[in-house]
Amino acid sequence: MDSIIVQGGAELRGQIPIAGAKNACLTLMPATLLSEEPLTLTNAPRLSDIRTMTTLLQSLGAEVSSLQSGKVLAMSSHDINNHTADYDIVRKMRASILVLGPMLARDGHAIVSLPGGCAIGARPVDLHLTALEAMGADLDLRDGYVHAKAAGGLKGGIVDFRFASVGATENALMAATLAKGTTVLNNAAREPEIVDLANCLRAMGAQIEGDGTSRIEIQGVDRLHGATHQVVADRIELGTYMLAPAIAGGEVELLGGSLDLIGAFVEKLEEAGVEVTATENGIKVRRKNGRVKAVDVTTEPFPGFPTDLQAQFMAMMCTAEGSCVLEEKIFENRFMHAPELTRMGANIEVHGGTATVHGVERLKGAPVMATDLRASVSLILAGLAAEGETRVNRVYHLDRGYESVETKLGACGAKIERVKEQ
């Protein structure tokens, strides 16, 4: 098991390339199950979650080839010979549930294990299931598996999400492309990953309108064809690395980044006293003189402040001038990084879904433990500005969502290395 060691105090200067979005790619990959023709994804991130989805698709009979050092995924599902997504694979990653809608839409039956993933709350899949039931699916939950059937195929229907769930919107969107008739998704998620999926499905022949709004309308078609699609830039990786110079000092350009992807996040950065500028190749970020200012944050569905950037933003607030309140409204139990930051000298009080951060002048390096994907990178960011050495253990979480963190930060002057546990 690897650890990341950071020696704090080095300012960052240079450029960091932003990879394709993990959350988008994990959604796009199951779309191959909707067609017998090839689907090719470019700008794919090279992450352990992508490898897990590859294994899952291959277990169903899909062919998946990784080309150009993993940045291109060539997939073909001309022969789906297994319709059971097994627990041993699905338990590793929550996004595995996204094979349910495509298999059910294409072949009328599927058996999918209830998923696992990060330990950041219950994150039930009931919204996925009620959406499919609205399209005529017959579902039975037993022995930890969803047994789904749609005799005669799925039919268009009205889906009213009680919560704007990204995953449920994605599953329903894919399933609806092959349903008979028109499907309307109300209170749909509006994230860029939803728009990216819709663009890919349209390239495959789907008829979709309204993606990027809370009402998506899909006219089902008889079949989808092959396509080539470029994965959108990862807005969470983008926001994470934008915080790096804000925490450590210096100036960094994020290549391939776009302000359109993270508007609410940028507003909070600027409010804290961080300068953000669009460039010809991406986004340039630098901290203005002195400490950043404490800023209150409430996580919300897109276009609000992303829950996946809350832990990283908290790391910056630990050394901010003043006090602030971070309110988590998307997932419960998502402040597990707070006790680890406290080990580094942070002053944080957690009460239910809110965390009050009282800024201190400097953090001190310490051995800390990563509890989930975003928490792990927040500890690395904190270590950039901490006095002395920070050792982040259990970074296998990190590899699920960040590609070569130590290489990207090291190229900008960070004193960071990956070491093998003894």
Strands 12-17 and 250-255: parallel
Active-site residue, from 25, 118, 318, 412: 118
**What φ, ψ does residue 88 adopt, rounded to 5°?**
-60, -25
Helices within 37-125 (DSSP H only): 48-59, 87-90, 100-107
Tell me whether strands 367-369 and 347-351 are parallel, antiparallel or unpaired.
unpaired
- Structural tokens at position 212: 């990027």
Query: What is the enclosing helix (H) or strand (E) of 94?
Result: none
Nearest to 75 by CA among 28, 31, 32: 32
Amino acid identity, position 62: A
Q: Cβ neighbours of residue 164 under 8 Å, at least 6 residues apart?
A: 187, 188, 189, 190, 214, 301
Known binder of ligand: residue 138?
no
SS3 233: strand
Q: Annotation-wise, does 4 bind a ligand? A: no
79-95 burial code (b ≥16 CB/10 A, e <16): ebeebbbbbebbebbbb
Residue pair 415/31 in contact (Cβ under 8 Å)? The answer is no
Q: How far apart are CA 202 and CA 306, in angstroms?
A: 26
Let me know if 118 is a catalytic residue: yes
Annotated binding site for UDP-N-acetyl-alpha-D-glucosamine: 94, 123-127, 308, 330
Task: Enumerate the active-site residues.
Answer: 118
Annotated binding site for phosphoenolpyruvate: 22-23
